[in-house]
Each structure stands twice: as C-alpha cells, then as structure tokens.
Amino acid sequence: MSIFKACDIRGIYPDELDEELFADLGRAMGTLLRERAAAPRAIVGGDVRPSTPSLRAALIEGLAATGCHVADLGTVPTPVAYFAARRHRPDGLAIVTASHNPPGHNGLKLCLGDMPVTPDEIARLAQVAASGRFAGGHGGVERISVEGDYTAFLCAEAKPGDGFRLVLDCGNGACADLAPRVLRRLGYDPVELFCTPDGTFPNRSPNPSVPENLTALREAVAAHGAPLGVALDGDGDRVAVVDDRGRSLTGDQSIILLAQRVLGPGDRAVCDIKCSRAVLDAIEARGAEPLLERSGHAFIKTRMIQESARFGGELSGHFFYRELDGGDDGLYSILRIAELARDAGRPLSAVVDAMPRYAITPDVRVPYGRGDGGSRLDELAAGAHGEVLRLDGVRVAWPDGWALARVSVTEALLTFRFEAYRGSPRAIAERFLAPAPDLQRSVLERLDAMENTS
C-alpha cells in the first residue's frame, strides 16, 4: 500500500520513508506553497518518536531550500501545532507524526493554506516529490514556542477543577509532560499513568481506541475510586474515555457524551458516517442537526468549517469544536469531559447507561474476493433496495437499520458495519450483501464467530 493516504502520509521508518524522502517532501510542499505566495511561511512541529527529529530537520531543510520561511516548533503535540497555526496563520503547516500508529512508523500531517489537506493535494505533493522539479530560493528558519500561550488558552476556556480526581493515561506520548501540568494548574487531581515522553511507547500502544490497550487505565480507575479515566493517543489529538465502573466507552458513547455537553438548539454536528443511529438521536434530542461525513479528520474538519458546525465526532476518538476553528484536540476534549463528569450530579456510568442504544456490530473486515474494492462497492450499491449514500464507500439505510461498506485505506480489504433498530444486525447484513453471495458468506461467518466469542 502507498504511504500517501487520503488525509496524510504514513509509513514504516526507514523502510518506507526516510530523511531523503522527507527532504523531497519539504521541497515539494515548498514548491506548492510558492504557487500561492512569493515568500511563503510554514510552521513545522513533530511528535516524540525517535525518528521524528531527523525527519523534521530534513523536511525543514527542504522547505527552506524553496524559499520558505520556517517556524520550527520542535517537539510538540499535534494540537499545539494546530494552535500555532490558528495564532500565526502561516501559508502551510507540517507535523511529523504517525499519530496512533505503532512505534516503528512515522508520517506527516499537513495543511496547504487555511483548510485541511485534500486527497488531490496529497496526490499532487507525491507527484511533485517524485518529479524532482522543485522551486528554488533561500528561506530562513527560526525556533518559536507557543506552549505558554496554548496553556493559557486552555485554562481560559475551562472551569476550575476544584480537586476533581481523574486518571490520566498519556501513553508516553507527546502530551505526557503537558497534560498533567495543565490539569494541575486548573486544580484537578490527576492520577498519572505513563506521563513520561517516550516515543518507543514501552507501556501500551499509542492507539487508545482499542479497549485492550486500556487495561492499566481501567485498573487504576478501580484502584483509586476515580470517577473518570482518560487516555490520549501518541500525538495528543485523540482521547478515549473510561467510566467510574472501569468500562471503556465506545466511540459512539463518547460522541454522545460530548454532544450532550456542548450542543444546543439550532447547532449543527458533523458525525462520522460509521456512527450509530443512537448518536443522531442524541444530537436531535438537543435540538441540533446531525450531518453525516466521510471518516477521516481532514474530511470532518473541512465539513465543520463549511457548515459552521458547533461540534464533530469520529469513532476513533477525534472530537472537533467550533472554538478550535473546527479542529480537534485531545486535551481540550478531556477538559470538556471532566467538566461533564464533575457537574453531572450522578456517576458517569449512570450517564452512559441512560444513553440511547441499538444493536450494532464492530468493524468486519474481509478480502475483496474477486475484482477490486471499488467494483465490489458498485456491485452492492447497484443491488441495494434502500436509501443509498455514496459519501464514503456505500451506505444503505432502511427503516429498521443500515449497512456500510468501505475500502480499507491500509490493506486490500473491505470494511463493513451493520446496525439494526429492531431485530438483528445479521439480518441487515444478509439483506445488504445479497447481491454478492461470496462477500455475504465471508461476512456472516465472521459475524457468527464474533457472536460465539462475545
């Protein structure tokens, strides 16, 4: 699979990406920025992975060689880099990070202008980098810091913690120093887990959306009698939540939790297309309008900006806010969640138990079988007898549920999800997959196996 994804760049270091490639990516990015401005300004930061400093230096060198002026943030969480961009309004932003990917990976998140990068811009960047035809110039590099301003912003946006205890699992990631300091400054009582930066991630995976990665957090919530546990991902833009009973909240439950906190009548909320109907119900119960959007932080942030939405949620733990210009921030989300847990007047588990819910499957991943992913999706869409949405893959809705099929961006697989408002998701799967018996057989076998092991 290519390292050039729909929203960013990801790969294994140094097998799939290295300093030479990042120097070319810097030159390619600078070349594209030179099409927009004669003397463009770019902000660059990076996470705590061991390969990040040298990749960041190579990227900066490439940018400067095209005539860009580069402001180097050094090692920062991704939300701090986004904050710097909101403050300084550069022509481009680049963050060297593999986010929640395994320790041996690295990558690049970027913006060309004010809007999130598009798949076409990623493709153009790859094309220019491969061509070797770069703009020339003599740019400059300066080191800047915005952490103090970022901390002040968060503290101004949040209420005092008043000694509220929560367990904070930073996973040795980019927020490991910053998050405990902010919480203590606000008067919270954080129980710290893995709050020493270490880009080898020795204690758990940098991906907190997998419940198995939160065993230590769940145990610590129980051991300390804490009303809340939270976990950040490797670069600090995603958060996972554990309630007072030590249960990991699903992505749907976390979105509902925050939607109930921040939404009001007339607001709009952008929702991951994979979200449960329960999320849409909860948003509508607040008098707000839910808007389905393609999965991926760049797509949801773009829709947030276009719709002037108040809030957005992705099942992976990205949460988006109008106050952040449509952006996401794990620590900002923690402050919102902590306020809700503190002010609820009942345990967080009771809030979760009162949420609407339907029977929904986790992601089911199967090979294409014959043909390719796109042709198999077309086959399912053509045979559908329901409300078809081709926003991301193919989603078909009926009065009693919905089904979704998408092409994986990392493997030669199709990813399915099914929800039933009444009855069984298996019946929804059978109906959706009827035009493709081979896929139907493979998916139903996996659903049966999931049910037998649950």
Catalytic choice (27, 34, 56, 99): 99
Distance CA 56, CA 232 (A): 22
Distance CA 74, CA 264 (A): 38
Under a CB-based contact definition with an 8 Å cutoff, are residues 76 and 149 in contact?
Answer: no
Catalytic choice (10, 303, 336, 417): 10
Distance CA 425, CA 448 (A): 11
DSSP helix/strand/coil, 434: coil
Whether residue 318 lies in the annotated active site: yes
Catalytic choice (27, 238, 286, 318): 318
Candidates 233, 241, 95, 72; CA nearest to 146 is 72
Q: Which residues contact 70 (CB under 8 A, 6 or more apart)?
A: 41, 42, 43, 44, 60, 63, 64, 139, 140, 141, 142
* Residue 241 in tokens: 């939540």
DSSP letter for each residue of 8-22 = SEEEETTTT--HHHH
DSSP letter for each residue of 250-301 = PHHHHHHHHHHHH--TT-EEEEETT--HHHHHHHHHTT-EEEEE-SSHHHHH
Whether residue 10 lies in the annotated active site: yes
**Across the chain, which distance is largest between two alpha carbons, in Å?**
65
Residues taking part in catalysis: 10, 99, 318
